[in-house]
Structure 1
Amino acid sequence: MLRYAPSPTKDMDIQSLRIALFNYIMSKKLNEELIVRIEDTDKKNVLEGKDKEILELLNLFSVEHSRVIYQSDNIKYHQKLAMQLMTQKKAFACFCSDEKLNELKQNAKNEGKVYTYDDFCANLSDETVLEVNSSFTVRIKRPTKDIEFDDLLNNKQKFTPTDVDSFIILNHDKTPTYNYACAVDDMLHDVTTIFKSEKELSNTPKQIHIRNSLGYTKQINYIHLPAITNEKKSSTSVKYLIEQGFLPVAIANYLVLLGNKTPTEIFTLEEAIEWFEIENISTNEVKFDLEELKTINKKHLELIDDLRLSKLLGFADADIGKLGKLFLNEASTLNEIKENLNLIFSKKELCKGYEQESEIIIQCLKNAPFMENFDELKAYLLNETKLKEDSLSKALKYLLTKRENGPSLNEIYPFIKNYLGEIVKC
């Protein structure tokens, strides 16, 4: 069992999507189930509708999963197992106020030390605990020996009891903390392999300690992926990239390619399943480069079916897909292609400097019979308008494309000939 565990407290970013993609690929390679677990226990920070948005994005990227689980549905298990840990003296009630804890943290900071809880409440007698009439958190007792585990990408990892600490597993309102809920749910769902960001590396020994304390000994394989940096501060929201006209297949291609040894630069997720190996992933942090993504997106736009591209551009005609591809010398996203198509189908002013010629051409085009190719149309216009070829060409190019450069009319005409009346009326 593999799990992808997004948080509905923020937009899905490329780091999170990359983890989802690797989970999907590995689930297919191992022929194991992949579940999506929405980590929604932090109710005050959950954004309404964000869970549905995440699931829609996973569907858009064809990340198949067997079921969706909401972490908050397991709270009764979180609380029950916390009580078990307390009964077994593996966890304890902590009555320390926020002010006291902040003081301890500040003292550690002033002394240049890493803050760890002083275990004051761990030593309270049962009688004392019963006499205290105030709210409390629940802390798990720190381990008595080092926590070690093998990371499939980063080799053996070792953390001391001080690294793990006596950390909180239930808040004052008895909702589970992040590490506790994750550890329990991974145990309940029999998860075997977990992809995480290397930024979460320090959380892993805490989660292992929780399961060890609960007597769960089944090994879980961990892969901590290097961070994705973004030096140019481009938006890394997946939703934003889609809105900007990047294809899901291209975004997925780029994220799997980043810091990875692949047999080819351009591929689909289905192709990646065939050759993907964890040991080929770099352990160094990788840089998100919007220009590289544009290059990959352009290559996928070149490969996409013409009719499919047409539909993505708001049409249902393969010729429009072919027309869109003519602009790939300068365009690299759907939005950039749409901008060029919008110029063709938009209302146009008369060509500056050729206003009179433009009016003559428009009238002639409205009365022109259907022409199969551009040379026929050009010959017809030259004959009917009596304009010089240079004047005709400049004015006609602007009237049909609203621009002076770009693909030639000879290239464009085969794909707009059926729309000529509509274009001239614009």
Structure 2
Amino acid sequence: MTVKTRFAPSPTGYLHVGGARTALYSWLHAKANNGKFVLRIEDTDLERSTPEAVEAILDGMKWLELDWDEGPFYQTKRFDRYKAVIAQLVDEGKAYPCFCSKERLDTMREEQMANKQKPRYDGRCRNLAKDDVDLTQDHVIRFKNPQEGAVTFKDVVKGEITIANSELDDLIIARTDGSPTYNFTVVVDDMDMGITQVIRGDDHINNTPRQINIFDALGASIPEYGHVPMILGDDGKKLSKRHGAVSVMQYRDDGYLPQAVLNYLVRLGWSHGDQEVFSVAEMIELFDVNNINKAASAFNTQKLNWLNQQYIKSLPVDEVLPHLQWHLDTLGIDLTNGPDISRLIPEFAERAQTLTELANAVRPYYCDFDSFEEKAAKKHLRGVAEEPLRRVKEKLSSLDEWKPEAIHDAINQTAEELEVGMGKVGMPLRVAVTGAGMSPSLDITLEWIGRERTLARIDQALNFIAERVAQG
């Protein structure tokens, strides 16, 4: 039997972190077992589903490179199939029309809750005589749930679960307008698509016994289920918008590599010894759904930042650059207007936890700036820095070759002539040419910035110092 998993989001919003982890686990299980991964868009909620949300989900899946083997399938394009199966169940006496009004159902629930009973449909229309059935009247279709026995299934995450059928009522499978409901469409889709394993959030666990009973009524094979615990925020509460970035594409915007996000998500509820960093190939080789944690996992932004930096440092430049390019474009950085970026990335990777930080760090090597970092300028661009900057500019402007060795010698000679430490020349020079107080060694920094741009920026710093001195 071919293993077949699916990811079936509802397009009522973006692809969030919890959904992305579910998709990843389903994708990995299929890949690890040479199976197939299906993408299904569950868009039967016509009021809340939007084309923009569909696009956001597809964008997130593509960015994470979670490629699907079949789909995307859209439930709204399968309504004829659902109607046919509903008619089949009604004909077989496994489903029935219910004419109870909303007012009656609301009153019934209120009374049940007042009596501390579990709210559930009382089955009034379950066995109506044919003469009492008038399909011209408003009605829903309910599934005739078994009233005896229990549903038992082995959850690969939670273990064996048993729910008595007496705890379940006759759920609605078609609304008054004829549109099918979630618990029904899911079963028909999983049956038709041959889904063998369903990995999803544990907020669906109460739906599973209902769905299993519908599978049984249709004489279909029942998939294996695994319900994954929720993800908690840094504060231990359920992850939500107030915790910051929960949309997958927001992580792209904030400067995370998709490889790092996948690595982080796989570890949010699964482990392999003490290993922290996994390539996608290693994830596929080592992933086992039976090792998913039973307890909820807490999101840790610091851990994600650390992991992202490991990838920035360790991935080949040609793998980092396509993702960095998005941030460079956003900042208006033109790589043709400066040094070879492949030389800069390894140098700045030690200082940048995100691609946003990396893009901002390399910016001075491609773009001019109008102002200096306030703290660095206050400390290093003072009156005492004027003479060192003038002297080093003279030496730099007369260099025959703009090479690191010659640049280094010019800075050294300036410090020796002025009888000051290297820092008295180097730090004002660094702030002058980069606009900030941190950079790689000055010799390669100046080489990358170039002679013309370096000299112009020293002039800019000298003007800044002159104005500062004049203001007292």
TM-score by length of 1: 0.90
Distance 2:183 2:18 in 1: 19
Change beyond 3 A, Cα 1:349–1:116? closer
107, 111, 115: which one aligns with 1:111? 115
Residues 309, 321 of structure 1: 8 Å contact kept: no
Shift of 1:367: 6.7
Residues 396, 410 of structure 2: 8 Å contact kept: no
259, 270, 274: which one aligns with 1:249? 259
Shift of 1:342: 2.5
Matched, 1:377 2:407: yes
- How many residues matched? 421
Matched, 1:95 2:99: yes
Report the equivalent of 1:83.
Answer: 87
Report the equivalent of 2:470.
Answer: none
Report the equivalent of 1:393.
Answer: 426
Q: Deviations over 1:144-182 (max 9, x none)?
A: 321111112222111111333111111111111111110
Q: Deviations over 1:234-287 (max 9, x none)?
A: 332111111101111001001111232214211122211111122222111111
Residues 36, 67 of structure 1: 8 Å contact kept: yes
The amino acid that maps onto 2:6 is: R
Change beyond 3 A, Cα 1:187–1:333? same
336, 347, 356: which one aligns with 2:369? 347
Distance 2:438 2:50 in 1: 46
Mapping 1:213-292, distance limit 5 Å: 213-216=217-220, 218-232=221-235, 233-263=243-273, 264-292=275-303
Change beyond 3 A, Cα 1:30–1:318? farther
Residues 229, 285 of structure 1: 8 Å contact kept: yes
Residues 228, 288 of structure 1: 8 Å contact kept: yes
* Matched residue SS, 1:326: helix
Change beyond 3 A, Cα 1:107–1:370? farther
Distance 1:181 1:398 in 2: 63
Residues 398, 404 of structure 1: 8 Å contact kept: yes
TM-score by length of 2: 0.81
Change beyond 3 A, Cα 1:424–1:57? farther
29, 34, 49: which one aligns with 1:31? 34
Residues 307, 318 of structure 1: 8 Å contact kept: no
**% same residue:** 25
Change beyond 3 A, Cα 1:209–1:362? farther
The gaps in structure 2 that reach 5 residues or longer are: 236-242, 326-334, 458-472
Distance 2:394 2:58 in 1: 52
Shift of 1:37: 0.6
Change beyond 3 A, Cα 1:409–1:382? closer
Mapping 1:348-367, distance limit 5 Å: 348-349=370-371, 352-353=381-382, 356=386
CA RMSD between the two structures: 2.7
Residues 184, 211 of structure 2: 8 Å contact kept: yes
Q: Deviations over 1:203-238 (max 9, x none)?
A: 11111111111122x231111111111144233211
The amino acid that maps onto 1:219 is: I
The gaps in structure 1 that reach 5 residues or longer are: none
160, 176, 180: which one aligns with 1:156? 160
Q: Deviations over 1:304-342 (max 9, x none)?
A: 112433443334899534424434454311111222223
Change beyond 3 A, Cα 1:343–1:88? same
Matched, 1:7 2:36: no
Distance 2:151 2:455 in 1: 74
